[in-house]
Amino acid sequence: MSGIRLLDLAKPFVGLLPEIELPYQSADFDEKIVYTIAAAALYSLCGLPLNNVNIEKIADPFTWLRSPLASQSGTLLEFGVLPIVTAGFLWQIIAGFRLIKVNFESRSDRELFQSLQKITAVVLALIYSVLLCFAGYFDSIDGFTNDITPSPWPKLTIVLQLTGMSLITSLFVELLDKNYGFGPGALVLIGTSAATQLSSSIIGFTSEKTSRGYESHGALIQLIKNIRNKPLGTAIYDAFTRENFGNLTQIYIVFAALSAVLYLGNMRIELPIKSAKVRAMSSVYPVKLLYCGALPLLFTYTVLYNANIFGFCFTQIFKDSKYISLLGKWELNDFSLKTYDLTSGFLYFISISNKSSNVLYSLIRPITFSIFITLTSYFFAKNWANVSGSAGKDLAKQFKEQEIALVGHRDVGAAKELNKVIPVASVTGSFLISSIAIGAESLGFCKGLGAGCIIGLMSSLTCLETIMTEWQQNNGAASQFGKVFGGQQ
Amino acid sequence: MNGRVSSAIPGGAKTLAKRKATQENKLKQQLQNQPTSTRAAGAGGSSATMLKIYTDESQGFKIDPMVVLVLAIAFIFSVVLLHVLAKLTGKLF
């Protein structure tokens, strides 16, 4: 072995990282529920405005990307789980393609790999926040307040808050990942945020002052308010078309998409399995059509979000350069002063921004956007089973360890048989899920709510699976939770 | 003169080459079969539908899960405190 491994670069920092102890014994059902709810609630609580940022006066270029990654503009959750998810995907894929040498069988290598992911998450948050500061994202956009302060303090506190928050978020994720709570942490947080967002855009009571008077965040609430104050026709038309908050069109599209996802989520192939030891034991092993769940779409949005953050920062910082506008061009939305809209450039074609001076552009955009989403999801789905260790050969290995055999196949044949099903399922599944997302998003009505809710729903279903396994294995019905909510049995 | 010499002499360069080739093939095979993720190595971690990132107990200073929750609350309060300070003093930071 010559040279220094990339993995070893993490070594000096390992001692600085907080690391949650693994539980001595598996926590019981009630405890897990408490930890899960606590982590999710505290995460939601972090949606408080950043210090030194005037949240009402900043414009947001990433509105349509926020919902899938549980982020909120101008708050501590400015990046949501983006740094953690990016780091996780990045290193797992690099290791999966054997671009760096990691010996996963050695414990110390695994630990280093994990620390590397955590460090990357924090460093990414640092990079994003510094770049966004330089790009002037946190400055108020109205011309009246003078924000050009010579002091670097405000910017420094912003960077510190965001970096600290990403460390806290990664600890939340770690807490849930390490079996103190349920399910993969990142997915729990995404699911929580999607649920919150969907319910607030349907029945959110809070209102905000806009150019048309006070408007409620919830579409349904606004409809009721409109019916009382305006003529019926205008009231209903307004509830379906308003731009700044959730409207009923979005809600209907989201519900259609969610029911399609639920329907597809139930499709599976059941492979008959039997015990290799006990003769009469037989069961089925389900291979789901959506084999990779929400991950292909989550990966795609992670890529898009990263591209947009870097794109936005570079275009703002290197404004004078001639070629930078090829990458993307953001223009302040004159009407609301709340968002930046992409109007041209490469990133415009893979966005759902509706605005363009060029008619041809706005005709091409849904097509290029769809192609991008489909191709990225396809790339991911094709490789993820192998990369993550859930491909046919890995499953066959597990079967062998648990002394399970596919009916009608020997040990050697199992991998081959599974490989006939799994790649097809994961690619088809990701294609279907991305088409649903495209259907919901590509016309630009949903502004990310559609994709966010699809990813949130699928993540929650994944978490539900782990909860149900836990319930059955650890006698959940005997827990306090089971006694209260389990019903009569 | 003394009868015919068999064409394959045991030992020698050929056998060495063969052995080397087998060895290399074996190494290659092993490299191919090396796990590429923590799950493949049988240590938990991301699966097809889950992105489980932190499943090992790494070095670094160990903390209790309760500490995480307390830390988070402390962090939230410190940000709130900053807001309050900013309101009170107008321009401290």
CATH of the domain at A260: 1.10.3370.10
Cα A101 to Cα B36: distance, rounded to the nearest angstrom: 9
Q: Closest residue of B to A168, CA-based? A: B72
**Cβ contact A178–B55 (<8 Å):** yes
Residue B81 touches chain A, beta carbons under 8 Å: no
pLDDT tens-digit readout, A444-461: 777 888 889 999 999 999
Using DSSP, state whether A251 is helix, strand or coil.
helix
Over 60: is that where the pLDDT of A319 sits? Answer: yes
Strand ranges for A190-298 from DSSP E: 207-210, 213-216, 268-275, 282-288
Q: How far is B64 from chain A (nearest CA, A)?
A: 6
CA separation for the pair B29, B22 (Å, rounded): 10
Classify residue B34: in a domain, yes or no.
Answer: no
- For residue A260, the model assigns a pLDDT of 92
Task: Please count the other Cβ atoms lying within 10 Å of the Cβ belonging to residue A33.
Answer: 20
Cα–Cα–Cα angle for A357, A363, A364, rounded to 5 degrees: 105
DSSP A7: G
Which distant-in-sequence residues (6+ apart) come within 8 Å of A69 by Cβ? A79, A80, A81, A82, A85, A190, A298, A301, A302, A305
Look at residue A166 in the predicted model and tell me its pLDDT: 92
- Partner-chain contact B54 A185, CB within 8 Å: yes
Question: Which whole number is the average pLDDT over B45-63?
Answer: 79
Using the predicted structure, report yes or no on whether residue A162 has a pLDDT greater than 80. yes
**Mean per-residue pLDDT, A240-255:** 83
Backbone angles phi, psi at A373, to 5 degrees: -60, -45
For residue A105, give the nearest of B35, B47, B55 by CB distance: B35
Percent of chain A with pLDDT over 90: 21
| pLDDT of A1 strictly over 50 | no
Helix, strand, coil: what percent of chain B each, to 5?
Answer: 50, 5, 45
Euclidean distance between CA atoms A120 and A86, whole angstroms: 9
Tell me if A245 is assigned to some domain: yes
Cα dihedral A49, A52, A55, A56, rounded to 10, equals: 140
For the stretch A38-84, pLDDT in tens is 999 999 998 888 887 877 778 888 888 888 898 988 888 989 899 99
Q: Is residue B6 part of a domain?
A: no
DSSP string, B64-75: -HHHHHHHHHHH
Question: What is the C-alpha to C-alpha distance for residues A216 and A351, in angstroms, rounded to an integer?
Answer: 28
pLDDT computed for residue A82 by the predictor: 93
> Is B2 part of a structural domain of the chain?
no
Determine whether the interchain pair A389/B39 forms a contact, defined as Cβ–Cβ distance below 8 Å.
yes
What average pLDDT score do residues A87-108 get? Answer: 84
Query: In this complex, do B37 and A168 lie within 8 Å of one another by their Cβ atoms?
Result: no
In this prediction, residue B6 carries a pLDDT of: 58
| Neighbouring-strand partners of residue A49 | A75
Res A149 pLDDT > 70: no
d(CA A124, CA A162) in angstroms, rounded, equals 11
Round to whole Å and give the CA distance between A387 and B35. Answer: 9
Indicate whether A5 belongs to any domain. no
Q: Which domain holds residue A367?
A: 27-469
Minimal C-alpha gap between A248 and chain B (Å): 31
The boundaries of the domain holding residue B80 are: 61-92
Cross-chain residue pair A174–B54, CB shorter than 8 Å: yes
Residues B61, A115: C-beta atoms closer than 8 Å? no
Nearest Cα to Cα of residue A397 among B41, B25, B51, B28: B41
A49 close to A74: Cβ distance less than 8 angstroms? yes
pLDDT at B93: 46
Residue A4 has what pLDDT?
62
Residue A486 resides in a domain = no
Helix (H) or strand (E) holding B62: strand B61-63
Partner-chain contact A172 B59, CB within 8 Å: no
The total of structural domains in chain B comes to 1
Could you give the 3-state DSSP secondary structure of residue A282? strand
Q: What is the pLDDT of residue A2?
A: 45
* CA-wise closest residue to A457 among A265, A181, A169, A185: A265
- ipTM score here? 0.83
> A334: which 2 tokens?
């004159």
Task: Supply the DSSP symbol for A75.
Answer: B
| Radius of gyration, alpha carbons of chain B | 32
Report the alpha-carbon distance of residue A65 to residue A121 in Å, rounded: 18
Place of tokens 């055999």: A405
Q: In this structure, is residue B45 part of a structural domain?
A: no
Please tell me which residue, A276 or A426, carries the higher pLDDT value.
A426
User: What percent of chain A shows pLDDT beyond 70?
Assistant: 95
- Beta-strand runs (E) in A89-168: none
Span A469-487, average pLDDT: 76
C-beta atoms of A19 and B62 within 8 A: yes
Look up residue A318 and give its DSSP letter: T
Asked if residue A79 lies in contact with residue A166, where contact means CB atoms within 8 angstroms, the answer is yes
A window 303-342, beta carbon within 8 A of B: none
Domain membership of residue A379 (yes or no) is: yes
A479, part of any domain: no
More confident residue, A11 or A382: A382
Q: Which two tokens stand for residue A461?
A: 């279903």
A116 and chain B in contact, CB less than 8 A: no
- pLDDT at A448 (0 to 100): 83
Instruction: Identify whether A4 is part of a domain.
Output: no
At residue B55, the pLDDT reads: 79
Q: Give B24-52 pLDDT, tens digit per residue.
A: 888 888 777 777 777 777 667 777 777 88
The mean pLDDT of chain A is 84
Distance, in Å, from the CA atom of A133 to the CA atom of A126, rounded to the nearest integer, reads 11
**Between residues A230 and A163, the one the model is more confident about:** A163
Nearest to A51 among B39, B54, B82 (CB): B82
Mean pLDDT check: name the lowest of A31-35, A152-156, B63-67.
Answer: A152-156
Q: CA Rg, chain A, in Å?
A: 24
Selection from A372, A384, A406 nearest residue A291 by Cα: A384
Place of tokens 């597809």: A264
Query: Is the pLDDT score of A304 beyond 50?
Result: yes
Residues A352 and A443: their CA atoms lie apart, in Å, by: 7
Q: What is the pTM of this model?
A: 0.88
Q: Does any domain span residue B32?
A: no
Q: Is position A14 within any domain?
A: no
Residue with tokens 């994944």: A462
Q: What does the pLDDT look like over A320-375, one tens digit per residue? A: 777 887 888 888 877 777 788 887 788 888 888 766 667 777 788 888 889 999 99
B69 falls within a domain: yes
B82, part of any domain: yes
Query: Taking Cα atoms as reference points, which of B38, B17, B52, B16 lies closest to residue A394?
Result: B38
DSSP state of A245: S
Number of structural domains found in chain A: 1
Host H or E run for residue B63 = strand B61-63
CA distance A44 to chain B (A): 11
**What does the alpha-carbon distance between residue A363 and residue A149 come to, in Å, rounded to a whole number?**
43
Average the pLDDT over B60-75 and give the result: 88
CA distance A368 to B37: 33
Selection from A139-143, A145-149, B12-16 with the highest mean pLDDT: B12-16
In a domain, B85, yes or no: yes
